[in-house]
Structures are given as structure tokens and as C-alpha cells.
A and B are shown apart, each in its own frame.
Chain A
Amino acid sequence: MKEPAIEQPQIAEPAPATPPPSQPDDKESREFLALLIGVAGWAVPGLGHALQKMWGRALAVFLAVGALVILGAGMRGNLFSSRGEDAFATLGYFADLGSGAFYLVARILETAGPDVSHSAGDYGTRFLATAGVLNLLSALHAYEAARGRKA
């Protein structure tokens, strides 16, 4: 005698209310990509934003850092080297180095060397350091934006 086939009730799966959590690999690759974008933003001012198609911010950062470096070098500000005599010189070197490729531009532009005996040279030193710190800030901004934080 043939037994009647028992029909399994077909229950429609409810649609998930929230999207499934991203895979760990995706998260790691995204973190790595964000880190690369941050480093690119440091190396070339504005590149971190340009890679994320934030054209306005990329242009603003490039022009701001570039203008500060050119003006600072033109005012014969002190561009610190790695052979600093004290902690302040080392800090100044790290600040100057923050402008990435523009650090080399400043080195090329400042052929006559620094002259901080006048106020313009002293201001130039601040302009150069500010360019580096501003570029570090923008690279951090690009990194956070790449990680998906609100920026």
C-alpha cells in the first residue's frame, strides 16, 4: 500500500530587516584600502580625497598646502632636516615632513637657505610647518572617509 506523500509546508523566509553583516575579509580589505588612501594623501596632498572622487576637497588641500609651502620657502623659512640639534628641531622636522612630496619642493625652492633674522623668515618657518600639519590632518580625514566614517 502506497503511503500518501506528506507535503512539507513551505514557509516563506522572512526578508531580513537589516543587511547581513559584512564578512571579516571585506572589513580587513577595506581597512587596508583606507590605510593606503591615507598614505597616498600624505605623500601627495589631496590624492587621498581624489582617489575617493572628492574633487573639491582634493583641490582645496592641494592648493592650500602648495601655497603654504611656496610662500614659506619664498619667505626663507627654516626647513628642518633630520639632523636636528634638539627636540624642537626634531618636532619641526616631523611637521615639515608632513607635507609629503612638497617637502622636496620646498627644498628645491629654498636655494638660498633659511633666513630667520627677519620676521618674514620666522613666519615662513610657521607656514612650512603648518603646511605639513594641515596635510597630515587632511590625510587623516581621507583615511576616516575611506573607512566609512562621516566626513
Chain B
Amino acid sequence: MLMKQRAEGKPDAMHIPFTHLQALLLFALIISLAFGTLGRRKPVERIKYAAWSFCLFVIVGVAIGWLMYPFSH
């Protein structure tokens, strides 16, 4: 039944439409929080590490996006 639903495309199936930037921010936020919690022990250090990795994710992601921009035109 599940396979049949997949083949037909269930109309009320979950669908989350994100823009590029929203997907990037959400991804960076979730991974940064996990990295901060796993990588450091003290709460202050966790917050600093999570904030730092979040900024790096976003900056590097946007930079790579702009680097690829000329190839799309």
C-alpha cells in the first residue's frame, strides 16, 4: 500500500517548501547546535562554539553560492 501511495503521489503528503537561504540557515542552525553540544563541555563554550560554527556555515555557504553565480549565467 505504501509503495502504491508512493507511485501515485499521495495528495496530502507532507511537503515543506523552503527557499535556498531558509534551507541554509536551518541546516546551519541544527548542525551548529549539535556540534556545540557534542564538542564542548561548559555551557558558555558550547554557545560560543555553536555561534562560531553557525557563522562559518552561513558565510562559507553564501560565498560558495556567489562563486558559482557566474557559471549559472
A130 to B14, CA, bound (A): 20
Query: What range describes how many residues of B lie at the interface?
Result: 20 to 34
Q: How many A-B pairs fall under 8 Å by CB? A: 71
Is A134 in contact with chain B by the CB < 8 A criterion? yes
Task: Report the stretch among A26-34, A60-68, A84-92, A95-103 that lies at the interface.
Answer: A60-68
A130 and B31 form a contact (CB under 8 A): yes
Which of A108, A113, A130 lies at the interface centre, i.e. has the most chain B CB atoms within 10 A of its CB?
A: A113
Is B47 in contact with chain A by the CB < 8 A criterion? no
**Closest Cβ neighbor of B43 among chain A residues:** A56
* A57-B37 CB under 8 A given contacts A111-B6, A120-B23: yes
A123 to B26, CA, bound (A): 11
0/1 string, A38-67, CB within 8 A of B gives 1: 000000000000000000110011001001
Residues of A participating in the B interface, judged by any CB pair closer than 8 Å: 56-57, 60-61, 64, 67-68, 71, 73-76, 107-113, 119-120, 123, 126-127, 130, 134, 137-138, 141
Residues of B participating in the A interface, judged by any CB pair closer than 8 Å: 2, 5-7, 9-10, 13-18, 20, 23, 26-27, 30-31, 33-34, 37-38
